[in-house]
Amino acid sequence: MAALLDGDQHELDPLERQVVAFFVDGVRVLGLPRSIGEIYGLLFVSQTPLSLDDLVLRLRISKGSASQGLRMLKSLGAVREAEGGAERRTYYEPAIELKRLAGGFIREQIRPHLESGKAKISLLAETARDVDDPERRKFLGDRVDRLETWMRSGGRVLPVLQKLLGQ
């Protein structure tokens, strides 16, 4: 029978809620969905690894959300499957080294956009070269150069960022 008064033993305690809320805010700043913050947050306060079903039960999110959220967190290098447990189901634990977290985010979220940005600028440069009016063409060439400078700066900054965060 279902528990009376909704007195679920599944609910988060106040501390867990505080931590989860912290990470929900955190990932929003990074432009990631709320569920990512909830999942990572709960893993972060947990003393033991958690399974997908644990996340569904305690966070009251759907299996779909939990599955997709874990996939993204794995691709970011922010969670890993726990070793050991000869169990059937897999348990997850958080990566807590900033170096790894920042590295995954840069690799998965920033670099791809930087690359596609460079490609779009190349196309832009072509379009700008075909402009008839010489003065307009010159102006556009300057703007395109400016964009290329931005991208170069971005490319130079990322490795430094990674190095500084790896400590």
Q: Which residue of 68, 117, 118, 148 would you call a contact of a copy of itself, by CB under 8 A?
A: 117
Q: Return d(Cα 126, Cα 52) in angstroms, integer.
A: 49
Of 64, 75, 131, whose CA–CA distance to 100 is shortest? 75
x/- track of binding to a copy of itself for residues 31-50 (CB under 8 A): x------------xx-x---
Kindly tell me which residue out of 49, 69, 94, 103 binds DNA, with binding defined by CB under 7 A: 69
129 binds a copy of itself, rule: CB under 8 A: no
**Of DNA, a copy of itself, none, which one does residue 34 interact with (CB within 5 to 8 Å by kind)?**
DNA
- Which region, judged by CB under 7 A, interacts with DNA, from 29-37, 108-116, 126-134, 150-158? 29-37
Helix (H, G, I), strand (E, B) or coil at 82: coil
Q: What residues between 121 and 150 interact with DNA by CB under 7 A?
A: none
* Nearest CA-CA partner of 90 in 57, 59, 54: 54
User: Does the protein bind a copy of itself through residue 106 (CB under 8 A)?
Assistant: no
- Residue 94 Cβ vs a copy of itself, minimum distance, rounded to whole Å: 10
46 binds DNA (CB under 7 A): no
Strands (E), 24-138: 50-51, 79-81, 91-94
- Rounded (5°) CA angle 60-62-64: 150
Cβ atoms 99, 162 nearer than 8 A: yes
Q: Taking the chain, what is the end-to-end CA distance rounded to the nearest angstrom?
A: 51
Instruction: Determine if 153 is a binding residue for a copy of itself (CB under 8 A).
Output: yes
Which residues of the shown chain bind DNA in the complex (CB under 7 A)? 28, 32-36, 51-53, 60-65, 67-71, 88-90
